[in-house]
A and B are shown apart, each in its own frame.
Chain A
Amino acid sequence: MPDVIAIVTGFIRENFIAGRSDVTVDPAVSLIESGIMDSTGVLELVEYLESTFDIKVDDEELVPENLETVNNIIKFLKAKGVAS
């Protein structure tokens, strides 16, 4: 099983940071407050998680506790049964 953290971080880097070398993805820092992701970014991320890990994310699950930081995303994926 590939490293889930690397997959998620790779997607965020490729889609929201667009090659910038001066921006780092700190797994504990809010992706929203740091300006990396906006409202459509969250939805893009959710679509990616659904297709990559073959899960269904309910509207009720679109909350900061699940998606605010890389750490939260990983925890959420584990709870959805995605092995790390």
Chain B
Amino acid sequence: MRLVHDFLAETARRHPSKAAILHGDRSATYAEIEELSNRLAHLLLSAGLSKGDRVLTVMENSIENVVSYYGVLKAGGVCVEIHDRSTPAETGYYVRNSGAGVCILSKAAAPRLEGVEVPVIISAEAVRKGPGQRVFRWDELDAMPGASPPVSIEEHDLAAIVYTSGSTGSPKGVVLTHRNICSNTQAIVSYLGLHESDRIMAVLPFYYVYGKTLLNTHFMAGGSVVVNNRFAFPNAVVKEMVDREVTGFAGVPSTFAILMNRSIFSKTAMPSLRYVTQAGGAMAPALTRRLIDHLKGVPLFVMYGATEASARLTYLPPERLVRDKLGSIGIPIPGVEVTVRDDAGKELVTGEVGNICATGPNIMQGYWQDPEETARALKPWGLVTGDLGQKDEEGFIYLTGRKKDMLKIGGERVSPKEIEDAIIASGLVHETAVIGQPDELLSEVPAAYVVPIEAGTFDLESLKGYLAERLAGHKHPKFWHVLKAMPKKPSGKIDKEALKNDVLHEVRVA
């Protein structure tokens, strides 16, 4: 298959009445999603969308979310999907940075984001129209043609811009073509052995590349996707996994920490479960062992990837995880080459630690309108992931750390600088530093150190309120330390290592 929406179109031809998405008491067949996404594509084209135009969507996982994704692609548009809890300020940044001319809002997102400055809004809920703005309601799709629109799209055309935190602070847009996503999807279907009898429980959001692979791989294989956005109540998810007889489950480390530590998962038999995948950061080996024990022979695929690689770079064959490779991220997926290199690009020998680099048809085209960051990430020898690691004598890869100063909060990369910039922008703080603090559930949470401008009148609650309006919840610091002065290096830079050591000390004392 050449194009991402071919996954949908071809399965709709083969199995039109098969359930594609099951969400609560709603479901949609492949034929229904195919027709609705065609209608949306026609609506976008009638609203003036041209090939290559960006369309921003702010939606939780749902049937409408899936229709939007494939509908935008069928119209020749480029999908820009963002966190469904993004604040108006964050959404404004993504609209401006991507140049999106259309914004699709879910019922939940519409009231929060109705003021977003974009020429066209398509909304599941009534929204107030801004000056010169055109607003379409979701039910206007009914008047659109249900046949595929005649738009010529090539495999090298852009399909998605996926925002990820960058070392410069502001999120960067990872530019992916149809070929990038199709090749990665095919590789994942192949190593997981996905089949039309497969049915995945999707608790990961589709705006996140790992979540999106669940959708695309199952649409390619002709399987079904069960959507459950209420992992806040893990027992309800576990019960639905049993009731729906799901064959697959995917999670990040915090997903499994919650399932194993605070749910009925470990006491529940799931005879239909065929495999489990884990990605989104390293999981504590002790938790991995407990999970393996609980799964009683159901294969656990530990995987590694990057947004810049469409999603997936490596996987650890489950039998090797159990036998002798716990702690490794495995071997490259089909069609991808992963190497360990020094900063000059020279490949290192077995056992030497260096930059994890990758080449393959899944590697991004670059960062959206950011040639400098693109040049830093894409070298003649491939994508420089920013992770450090080594290979063993059999070619299995082990990560040893991250080169960039990035946090990984519940599987999502977050730049400390983005949080620091927002804190400084409050005008309440003279200096700040944000570092990661270990967290059992989320791997890491942000801890903020601040030096107030006016120590006597400084009100931390005001600062928290300021951030709440500008940053999505997972970026809010969980711990605050108000200091008289920052520890500094001889160069004058803030000494984050000194702060980290203090934090670790506190953790040990606790």
Contacts and interface: CB of A to CB of B under 8 A. Distances in A.
B230 to A, nearest CB: 6
A39 B264 contact: no
Interface size class of B (residues with CB under 8 A): 20 to 34
B235 interface: yes
Interface string A11-30: 00000111111000000000
Contact of B468 (A19, A32, A39, A67): A19
Contacts, number: 62
Interface in B200-252: 230-236
B473 interface: yes
A20 B468 contact: yes
Interface stretch (B62-70, B286-294, B374-382, B458-466): B458-466
B410 A62 contact: no
B57 interface: no
Given A19-B462, A63-B236, A40 B467 contact: no
Contact of A19 (B230, B262, B461): B461
Contact of A37 (B232, B234, B254, B258): B232
Nearest to B233: A64
A50 B234 CA distance: 18
A41 B232 CA distance: 8
B465 A43 contact: no
Contact of A40 (B230, B236, B254, B469): B254
Interface string A60-80: 101110011000000000000
B171 to A, nearest CB: 20
A35 interface: yes
Given A39-B258, A40-B410, A43-B262, A62 B465 contact: no
B233 A60 contact: no
Given A38-B232, A40-B442, A43-B441, 20 more contacts: A17-B468, A18-B465, A18-B468, A19-B461, A19-B462, A20-B465, A20-B468, A20-B469, A32-B232, A33-B108, A35-B85, A40-B441, A42-B232, A43-B258, A46-B262, A63-B235, A64-B230, A64-B236, A67-B233, A68-B233
Interface of A: 16-21, 32-33, 35, 37-43, 46, 59-60, 62-64, 67-68
5 contacts: A18-B476, A35-B85, A39-B232, A39-B254, A62-B234
